[in-house]
């Protein structure tokens, strides 16, 4: 009963701010919504481009397909929100809380530039198939992030720390990974029919540390993993991994 009352209260607050509590394809582009409580609402396919959402709460909201490009999300609360297919290009996310949020197919290009390492780790805690092409993450500490199947082609990731990260199926083609730390990262997976690894074609991996890299039974986070041998890693990463520590 308490949980139901809390949810009703959150929806009432959202309604009082002039927003519907459930919306498909609505546009709030450029709106001033800073501090709004939109917890638990559903804004599927909504347009929040360039909106001011500083300090707003979207905790537990369903935001599938929403557009937050160039929005000001500083200090916003996205905990436990669902963000499938969301556009976050050039959004300002410093101080935003994405703990427990589920991201899939999210476009994050130019959204990491003003954020701290802890904020980025929260954002990428569960980010499957996310778009991070040409990301500027040089020297960042992204240990433990989970970004399977994501696109990091051409990323500037020299000296980045991916220790213990889930990088299965990540596309690093053409990325600068010199001196990157990928120790104990989940780089490969296998099933009864095939083997797949992160794609390092054309990537500069000189000095990158891939020691202890893992191959796992499946993409699931709970799946068992074992160390992957250098021969398998080279074959399925589509790279000779010249200069890397294996």
Tens-digit pLDDT profile for residues 80-135: 999 999 999 999 999 999 999 999 999 999 999 889 998 899 899 999 999 999 99
The whole-number pLDDT of residue 228 equals 96
Q: Kindly state the helix (H) or strand (E) to which residue 15 belongs, with its residue range.
A: helix 2-16
Rounded-to-integer distance, Cα 205 and Cα 191, Å? 27
In the DSSP assignment, the letter for residue 70 is T
- DSSP characters for 141-160? B-TT-B-TT-B-TT-B-TT-
The whole-number pLDDT of residue 18 equals 64
Question: Which of 90-104, 170-184, 213-227 is predicted least confidently?
Answer: 213-227
- Is pLDDT of 166 > 90? yes
Question: Which of 20-24, 229-233, 237-241 is predicted least confidently?
Answer: 20-24
- Is pLDDT of 7 > 80? no
- Is pLDDT of 208 > 50? yes
- Is pLDDT of 1 > 60? no
DSSP-assigned beta bridge partners for residue 23: 43
The whole-number pLDDT of residue 245 equals 97
- Is pLDDT of 6 > 70? no
Domain with CATH 2.160.20.80 in the chain: 1-117, 132-246
Q: Say what percent of the chain tops pLDDT 70.
A: 92
Which architecture characterizes domain 1-117 according to CATH? Answer: 3 Solenoid (2.160)
- Is pLDDT of 207 > 50? yes
The whole-number pLDDT of residue 67 equals 98
Which architecture characterizes domain 132-246 according to CATH? Answer: 3 Solenoid (2.160)
The whole-number pLDDT of residue 15 equals 45
Name the pTM for this structure.
0.87
- Is pLDDT of 232 > 50? yes
- Is pLDDT of 59 > 90? yes
DSSP-assigned beta bridge partners for residue 62: 42, 82
**Helix, strand, or coil (residue 78):** coil
The whole-number pLDDT of residue 223 equals 81
Which is more confidently placed, 233 or 2?
233
- pLDDT band at residue 225 using 50, 70 and 90 as cut-offs: very high
Q: What does the pLDDT average to over 42-63?
A: 97
The whole-number pLDDT of residue 138 equals 96
Beta strand 214-216 with 225-227 is: antiparallel
- Chain centre distance of CA 170: 12
């Amino acid at each position: 009963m308490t949980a139901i009352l809390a949810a009703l209260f959150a929806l009432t607050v959202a309604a009082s701010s002039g927003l519907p509590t459930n919306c498909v394809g609505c546009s709030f582009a450029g709106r001033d919504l800073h501090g709004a409580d939109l917890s638990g609402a559903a804004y599927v396919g909504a347009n929040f481009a360039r909106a001011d959402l500083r300090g707003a709460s979207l905790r537990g909201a369903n935001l599938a397909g929403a557009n937050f490009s160039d929005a000001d999300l500083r200090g916003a609360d996205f905990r436990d929100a669902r963000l499938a297919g969301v556009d976050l290009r050039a959004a300002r996310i410093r101080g935003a809380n994405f703990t427990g949020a589920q991201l899939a197919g999210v476009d994050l290009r130019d959204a990491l530039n003003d954020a701290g390492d802890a904020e980025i780790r929260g954002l990428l805690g569960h980010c499957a198939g996310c778009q991070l092409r040409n990301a500027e993450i040089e020297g960042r500490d992204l240990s433990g992030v989970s970004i399977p199947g994501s696109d990091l082609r051409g990323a500037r990731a020299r000296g980045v720390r991916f220790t213990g990260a889930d990088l299965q199926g990540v596309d690093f083609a053409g990325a600068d990974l010199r001196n990157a730390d990928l120790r104990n990262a989940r780089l490969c997976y296998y099933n009864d029919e095939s083997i797949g690894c992160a794609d390092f074609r054309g990537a500069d991996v000189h000095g990158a540390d891939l020691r202890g890299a893992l191959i796992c039974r499946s993409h699931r986070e709970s799946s068992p993993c074992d160390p992957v041998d250098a021969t398998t890693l080279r074959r399925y990463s589509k790279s000779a991994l010249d200069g890397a520590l294996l």
